[in-house]
Each structure stands twice: as C-alpha cells, then as structure tokens.
C-alpha cells in the first residue's frame, strides 16, 4: 500500500476547497503592506503558498489605521506553534472564546450573508462585539488557501483591549513563547505583556 506524502491531508483539503464554486480571491485588506500584494510565503518555514498550497493564517496589526505588524503562517507551522502553548493556556483560551463567541452562529451567519466584502466582518471586535477603535489599535485575521479566502472561517477583528483580556489568562510559559516569537520575527523586545500579534 502506498503511503501518503507528509502533510498530504492539508494539501488535499486545499485542493478540495478550490473545487467549490466561485472562490473568493484574497481581499486586498489581507494583502501584505510591504509588497502591496498577496502574501506568498510562510513567515516561519518560507513554504510557498503557490507552489505547495496549504491553508494559512494571515494577521495584521493596526495602530491609528496604519499597519504596524503583519504575518502569514501556514497551518503546519501554526500547529507546531500551538504545541508551545501550555495545556492550561489552551484550555483557558478555549473557555474564554466559548464565553464570548458563538462560533457556530458566527460561521452560519457568515455563510448566509457574506457577499465578497470583508469589511463588515472586521469592523467590530469579535470578543467585545463593539466597533474597533483605530486609535486604540486592533488586529484583523483571515484564513486562506492558495490564492483564495477560506470562506469556511469568517475573517475577524480583535481590539487591543480584548487582546489584553486574553493575555491575562495565559501562563508565563505561553507568554514567554509569544514574546520570543515577536522578538525573533519582528524585533519586538521581550517582556511585553501584550504582543501586537497573537498567531492563534
């Protein structure tokens, strides 16, 4: 019996998704600020999203409506990163999100109402359900596959205030990993209580 190639499940998932009708190209809102075009590679492993298409996460952090940090991380690296989170942090984050977000209802609403414009979905904080404040800062996120938006997962925005709430429940181990991550890839000094990017 022929064995499956490594990560074949993720690639097969992407290919299956691309067969759905009328795929939505990655919106400009989620293009790279530095290149003024779609992200092409994973920040961590440099895997090409075109040559070896896999699902990936895009996050962009804003302050006063200006992009201050951005990243695109493939699902494979994101899984590896989550293994660095403490078990306690993972459980607390799951509970925190469950308390504030009706995930199934949100996905159903997005499926029924999305018409190609992501702005209505990134104009309010996912956690606090209030409009994001550009002056206070916020981050937006979306999942993509290849060159299209993965419409199974609604794009979202989280305010800095909500990120602060999330950081308060994380263990020192998890905070340390996030600080090390931001320092390694963005040059942000360690010791910050609230990394601008939360790659989860």
Specify the number of domains making up the chain.
Answer: 1
Task: Tell me what pLDDT residue 134 has.
Answer: 86
Q: With bands split at pLDDT 50, 70 and 90, how would you rate the model's confidence at 19? A: very low
On whether the pTM is more than 0.85, the answer is no
Mean pLDDT value across residues 184-195:
66
In a domain, 152, yes or no: yes
pLDDT of residue 179: 86
Residues in Cβ contact with 120 at an 8 Å cutoff, skipping those fewer than 6 apart? none
* Pairwise CA distance, residues 178 & 142, whole Å: 19
Domain that holds residue 146: 9-186
**Residue/partner pairs of 20-26 with CB below 8 Å, 24 or more apart:** 23/148, 23/149, 24/116, 24/148, 24/149, 24/151, 25/147, 25/148, 25/149, 26/58, 26/142, 26/144, 26/147, 26/148, 26/149
Decide if 1 is inside a domain: no
Percentage of the chain modeled with pLDDT above 90: 48
Q: Domain for residue 194, yes or no?
A: no
Query: Is 68 part of a structural domain of the chain?
Result: yes
* 112 in a structural domain: yes
Specify which of 16-20, 48-52, 195-199 reaches the highest per-range mean pLDDT: 48-52
Q: If you average pLDDT over residues 160-181, what whole number do you get? A: 89
Closest residue by Cα to residue 182 from 49, 5, 44, 40: 44
**Residue 88 predicted with pLDDT over 80:** yes
Residue 171 maps to a domain: yes
Q: Decide if 192 is inside a domain.
A: no
pLDDT at 198 over 80: no
- Is 174's pLDDT higher than 80? yes
């Amino acid at each position: 019996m022929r064995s499956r190639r490594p990560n074949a499940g993720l690639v097969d998932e992407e290919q299956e998704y691309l067969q759905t009708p009328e795929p939505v190209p990655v919106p400009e809102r989620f293009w790279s600020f530095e290149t003024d075009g779609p992200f092409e590679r994973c920040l961590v492993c440099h895997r090409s999203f075109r040559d070896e298409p896999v699902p990936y996460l895009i996050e962009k952090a804003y302050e006063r409506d200006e992009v201050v940090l951005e990243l695109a991380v493939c699902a494979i690296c994101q899984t590896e990163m989550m293994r660095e989170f403490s078990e306690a942090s993972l459980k607390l984050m799951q509970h925190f999100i469950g308390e504030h977000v009706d995930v199934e209802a949100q996905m159903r609403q997005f499926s029924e109402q999305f018409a190609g414009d992501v702005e209505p979905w990134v104009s309010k904080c996912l956690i606090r359900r209030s409009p994001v404040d550009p002056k206070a800062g916020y981050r937006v996120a979306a999942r993509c596959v290849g060159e299209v938006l993965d419409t199974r997962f609604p794009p979202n925005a989280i305010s800095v205030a909500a990120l602060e709430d999330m950081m308060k429940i994380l263990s020192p181990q998890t905070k340390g990993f996030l600080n090390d991550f931001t320092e390694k890839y963005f040059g942000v000094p360690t010791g910050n209580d609230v990394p601008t990017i939360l790659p989860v």
